[in-house]
Amino acid sequence: MKNFDYIHRAEQLLTPRTTSLLTAIHEAKGRQSIQTAVHPDVLDTMVRAARIQSTNASNRIEGISTSDARLNAIVMEKTTPRNRAEEEITGYRDVLATIHESHDYIPLTPNVILQLHRDLFRYTGLTFGGHFKDSDNIIVERDDEGNQTIRFEPPSALVTPEFIERACAAYANAMHEPHIDPLLVIAMFIFDFTCIHPFNDGNGRMSRLLTLLLLYRSGYQVGKYISIEHLIERSKESYYEALAASTQGWNDDRNDYAPFVNYLLGITLAAYRSFDERMDVLTRNADSGRMTKEQRIADLFTHTLTPMSKADILQQLPDISTTTVERALKSLLDAGRIRKIGAGRSTRYVVKRD
């Protein structure tokens, strides 16, 4: 039977690669503490943008989506859901807000997990919200065309409550050990939660919400400002590869946590680095109060090497409207300062360099 022992398994994970990732994250966490204290005025726009992006990305991974306009209105609580997809998006919005605002008061227990799952499906007519699965299920992998393949067969519904109870207890025990890095414990628990697959539906979204909750509770606040869900969506192939590598031998307690742990550490570090970059843009704009919005968009291109989509620009400059971004892009194209790459949803723009 599967054994949940995050103390000894964490010690086995301390390879040079994992240690390097942990060190970089700890350093980035310290920088963030300083930056948020020095520049609190530029954080509100980052928080709003991250909530919209997180809600969108985490649901889109599961094939749940709506239009950008509807998504923004739902996250900003300016409308009510019109269909099943929007009901689930609205539930995710609420659970995400609860975690953002009350994480210090939300311990990791089976009852809390059930309550969060209940709230995730609050706006739907589904009755399984807040209940562990009542039948055995499988973990499937979806490709970009929507095709599914079986990746893993989780434990039965009969043993699911016991497994969640034991995993939560193992997490609590490891978190009381001062020599164990909490990031390792968080990653191992999230991986085991995914393997247990405790619900009829919503397992992927719950795993990402619990990731945010546990990071927050350990003092890693980057998910408040940068969408970790969006970073996972962008690296979905690597995500599935890491899951597949770590699930081998899981039922017999012979699995290797390292692939998934290093993946999640890499995502966390990428979020901190995105925060650094975003703060650099926003503080540079704040320090250049005489710059127009169009000039700020042009300035963003001069400091970016990679091609950017319209969505990338809106993410970097969340206080600027879509209409203004479109007008600025046309002006920059007409002036020959940037060039267009691709077409349709694949359109990107990159600065022309001598």
What is the average pLDDT across 97-113? 97
How many Å apart are CA 9 and CA 192, to the nearest integer?
13
How many Å apart are CA 130 and CA 115, to the nearest integer?
6
| Residue-wise pLDDT tens digits, 265-287 | 999 999 999 998 888 776 666 55
Which of 279, 298, 316 terminates a domain? The answer is 279
Structure tokens at 53: 């992006």
**How far is residue 94 from each of residues 55, 97, 155, 190, 206, measured CA to CA in Å?**
10, 5, 29, 21, 13
The residue that leads in pLDDT, 144 or 229, is 229
Q: What is the pLDDT of residue 111?
A: 98
- What DSSP line would sit under 153-211, residue for residue? -PPPTTTHHHHHHHHHHHHHHHHT-TTS-HHHHHHHHHHHHHHH--SSS-HHHHHHHHH
Mean of the per-residue pLDDT values of the chain: 90
The residue that leads in pLDDT, 234 or 260, is 260
Tell if the pTM clears 0.75, that is, is over it.
yes
Q: What is the pLDDT of residue 138?
A: 84
Same domain as 52, residue 111: yes
Same domain as 274, residue 255: yes
Look up the domain containing 274 and give its range: 8-279
Q: What is the pLDDT of residue 144?
A: 67
Q: Which CATH number characterizes residue 74's domain?
A: 1.10.3290.10
Beta strands in 6-59 (DSSP E): none
Residue 185 covered by a domain: yes
Q: What is the pLDDT of residue 256?
A: 96
| DSSP β-bridge partners for residue 149 | 141
The residue that leads in pLDDT, 286 or 147, is 147
Alpha helices per DSSP H over 235-335: 236-247, 258-287, 293-302, 310-316, 322-334
Same domain as 322, residue 269: no
Q: Is the dihedral of CA 16, 22, 26, 28 positive or negative?
A: positive
Out of 94-98, 208-212, 300-304, least confident range = 300-304
Residue 330 · residue 339 · CB < 8 Å = no
- CA proximity to 167, closest of 43, 78, 257: 257
Same domain as 164, residue 129: yes
Same domain as 275, residue 131: yes
Same domain as 232, residue 85: yes
Residue 315 · residue 281 · CB < 8 Å = no
The percentage of the chain sitting over the pLDDT mark of 70, rounded to a whole number, equals 95
pLDDT at 261 over 60: yes
Contact partners, residue 199, CB within 8 Å, separation at least 6: 117, 128, 131, 132, 133, 206
Residue 66 covered by a domain: yes
Same domain as 271, residue 131: yes
